[in-house]
Chains A and B, each alone.
Chain A
Amino acid sequence: MSLFFISAEAGAAMAWRPAADIYRTPEGWVVKLELAGVRKEDVNVVASGSELFISGVRRDRFVEEGWSHHSMEITYSHFERVIELPCDLSRASISIEGHHGLLLVRVVTSHEEER
């Protein structure tokens, strides 16, 4: 009976969640997100309290004239990921870089103390 078949995905919000690895670094944190084909300009990272909001859009830009889809498994459109880190991020500096299909979000927290 499909009446109460409820998939986890259906319950989630409209955006999709990219997979993420989180590293502790001497400077602070690095969040590595699996976001191939997403341009840096389309990603928006906001820190608030101890939470890091990463959101953006994956657009399918790599299409040439005369191509048409035969099948599609890559999820485009809006994604969203909230990552909670065990420290206050209000004073942290955040930078983004793309690296062969991975998106690295660098969070530097110990910046000032080290200087």
Chain B
Amino acid sequence: MNEQIESLPVLPIKNSVLFPGLLMPLTAGRPSSVAAIDAALASEDKELLIVTQRDSSVESPTVSDLYTIGTKAVVKRMMRRQDGAVNLIVQGVERVVLIKIEQADPYLVARVRMAPVPEETNTEVEAMRRAILELSARAIQLAQPNAPVEVTQMLAENEEPLQLTYLIGSVLGLPVEKEQGLLEAPTRLDALRLLHSYLLHELQVLELRNQINVQAQGEMERQQREYLLRQQLRAIQEELGETSPEQADAEMFRKQMDEAQLPEDVRKEAERELSRMEKLPQASPDYHVIRTYLEMILELPWGKSTEDNLDLAHARQVLDEDHFDLKEVKERILEHLGVLKLNPTANAPILCFVGPPGVGKTSLGQSIARSLGRKFERLALGGMHDEAELRGHRRTYIGAMPGRIIQAMRRAESKNPVLMLDEVDKLGRDFRGDPAAALLEVLDPAQNHTFRDNYLDLPFNLSKVFFITTANTIDTIPSPLLDRMEMLRLSGYSAEEKMEIAHRYLIPRQLKESGLTDQQFVLTDEALNHVIARYTREAGVRQLERAIGSLTRRVALRFAEGDTTPAIVRVEDLPEMLGPERFTFELARKQLPPGVATGLAWTETGGDVLYIEATLLPAGRGMTLTGHLGEVMQESAKAAQSFIWAHAERMGIDPNVVRRSGVHIHVPAGAIPKDGPSAGITMATALASVYTDTPVRSDTAMTGEITLTGLVLPIGGIKEKALAARRAGITRVILPRENQKDLRELPDNVRAEMEFIFAERVEEVLVAAMPDLAPRLTLPKAA
């Protein structure tokens, strides 16, 4: 065509391409662009060159940053903005080729040659035009199903294929490279082909998107339909005069709320939740969360309590019926009942039963509940390591539940039950929290009238609850917790007590279990004693009850098989019925060689007798200690040794022996760990015995802590130790003077049978233990 050449100001644009014949709104902010626009507007024709930048991030493009084919355009409208930028509407006029840049500053001026796309009309162009029209009609249908038909028609009316191409190309939202490709197409046919491929791609994308939309819509519609059906169901029910399940639920709760004596704030909260629940459909998960919560509130004993039976005589009778002995514990319990009788508003006490397993801590709790006429609930705390187990989870968690305390209160159905927290010494503790800390709140009378469970989130009054905790040892109970409780010790039972317990409770209970009568089964006292001594070793009576249980079952089997002669179980029958004896006693050794002394130990299952052996090592030096001894016990041994060495002469010990030979102390059995200071005087006695070559009396056991100056200090566990000594056949026990008061704990017969010697100084111990040594011993002046 005509080789027209002219110079035009250049306006580089980003991210889009202006096609000839089309309008485009633009905003120009770059100073060079604004200058170019000003120049164009200053001309009579208002013409400039619009070229697309290859890279939209370039701020001041040079010729290499621009495509070489652009569009000559006319400014149609222009508007300067406050910030100096310019809004304008331009219309493409003609495709041009950029020949060279004539000026770069203050704005680009380019020399361009008009490059219109040559006219061409043939059947292929026409075929392509129709194909494009068809594709675009489909695309419109997909993109905007309710677009007016005129749009399609308007496209079809556009006879000029190139204009059609540009028009569709500009509205497809193609990437700049593709739009530019469309502009650069050398012939109409090329342009049409390019557009055709773009349209096809666009159509695929649209179809895929539509497919996704349809799927999503299907899902939505299913839920929608379900919801609608439910609404209809409700409408039908209302029409029929039936109430909807939600309403029925709400009605029921409202009625229950009126009946339950809820405190004001609880009632308010419950009503708020109820009105929330009413607004929810039954299918909503929240509905059930609230429902469970309301049920929980209604089941809790907010105002219900049982009447206390404060008849002390009755209480005493019940306690005595259920438990043998335990005089001191029973007195303390009765004292508390007495207080409750005089002052009914007094807070219930918090007791802690400490004692070995099987001594009846749990059943004592039950008896207290029975004597008071209160409900009894038991919570095992052993191994609990999560605070949330006690205090519950907040309701926002899925599957949240109230804590064990509140659950126990619900089971108790009264706000003043006896709540037994078992195994409080076995509470765990880890990173998830410390349940002992939660217990502090529960067990503090100053705080527990507003105990707040995380789930309930309402204050619940625990101050009327009679708390009883149990523990095997107080060592592992955190001290703030220990501080809140009143300690009651239940020590082990003696053989006589066990006999009594067996006769009163265990045998009748086992007979009942096995379906026998007391005529059909008789256990002789000797046999019972033998079972206690040889088949069990415990402070409590659990093993004993099991052993009696296997005896009664044996007999029951015989009866069931047809032999109905009453069974009398004697000592001789035991090996056959219970198997070989399980425990051999550390019976008192008949004769002790010099260097061996009898000590007494306290264990969790009661007391035990232990022998301390000392021997001289003629070629050795110093002292060797063996027998798995703890640090305190080793230090105690060293104190004993130092005392003996320091006062060797006063005790008639040859100083040369002390100087020349070492000494070895061993405490059997070697595999059992031992610790504590209470073997101090025993070790001193063993040392004195081995150095003086004097035997210790074999009927004498001793226990007590020793100091470096030879004082004998008091120790604990007197009752268990005394019982162990007696069981082993020992008749004399040397104890620290200050432990004299503890003898009260012992049964009368034990006190009568045994001889107790009280010592203040080691010398007194030695005299009592080794009468032969007495003449050789010089007592210190102070004694």
Q: Which residues of A contact B (CB under 8 A)?
A: 1-7, 9-11, 13-14, 16, 57, 59-61, 63, 67-73, 75-78
Contacts and interface: CB of A to CB of B under 8 A. Distances in A.
A75 to B, nearest CB: 6
B165 interface: no
Residue in B38, B78, B140, B155 with the greatest tally of chain A CB atoms within 10 Å: B78
A11 B147 contact: no
B131 interface: no
Most buried by A among B38, B88, B91, B144: B91
B20 interface: yes
B783 interface: no
Given A14-B21, A68-B42, A69-B38, A76 B151 contact: no
B45 A6 contact: no
A68 B75 CA distance: 14
Interface string B67-80: 00000001111111
Interface stretch (B167-175, B482-490, B665-673): B167-175
Contacts of A11: 154, 158, 163, 167
B20 A14 contact: yes
Nearest to A9: B23
Given A14-B91, A72-B79, A73-B77, A6 B151 contact: yes
Nearest to B206: A3
22 contacts: A2-B173, A4-B140, A4-B151, A6-B151, A6-B155, A10-B22, A10-B167, A11-B158, A11-B167, A14-B91, A16-B76, A59-B44, A59-B45, A67-B42, A69-B37, A70-B80, A72-B41, A72-B46, A77-B45, A77-B46, A77-B74, A78-B74
Interface string B10-46: 0000000000111100000000000001100111111
Q: Which 10 A-B pairs have the closest CB atoms?
A: A72-B78, A59-B44, A77-B74, A69-B41, A71-B79, A76-B46, A70-B80, A10-B23, A68-B38, A10-B22
Contacts of A16: 76
Q: Is the interface of A mostly helix, strand, loop or mixed?
A: loop
Contacts of B171: 2-6
Contacts of B93: 14, 77
Given A4-B143, A11-B154, A77-B45, A69 B80 contact: yes
A63 B74 CA distance: 17
Contact of B77 (A13, A14, A72): A72
Contacts of B154: 6, 11
A76 B41 CA distance: 10
A10 to B, nearest CB: 5
Contacts of A60: 41, 43-44, 46
B422 interface: no
Nearest to B24: A10
A67 B39 CA distance: 11
B75 A72 contact: yes
A3 B209 CA distance: 15
A71 B23 contact: no
A9 B24 CA distance: 11
A86 B20 CA distance: 34
A3 B141 CA distance: 12
